[in-house]
Amino acid sequence: MAQPKVELQTELTCPECGHHEREEMPTDFCQARYECRACHVILSPLERDCCVFCSYATVPCPPVQEHGKCC
């Protein structure tokens, strides 16, 4: 059975100002910090998540998509 295609494009939403930004997720690491381009707050993952994409984006990071857990 073929593996489902991993989605790399996502929309990240800043919890501070609500700004939406379309981003391409890296495949070789989990991104633990992200600076909002609108308000410049530094986002960190929520306690239960491995990266900012799992916490604030429309699509979870590639390792979670592939394996159901983070790297």
Predicted confidence (pLDDT) per residue in 29-65, tens digit: 889 999 999 999 999 999 999 999 999 999 999 989 9
Tell me the pTM.
Answer: 0.86
Phi then psi dihedrals of residue 48, to 5 deg: -85, -5
Instruction: Report the chain's terminal Cα–Cα distance, integer Å.
Output: 23
- Residue 8's contacts (CB-CB under 8 Å, 6 or more residues apart) are 24, 25, 27, 62
The answer to whether 36 and 16 have CB atoms below 8 angstroms apart is yes
pLDDT digits (tens, 9 = 90+) for 61-70: 998 998 887 7
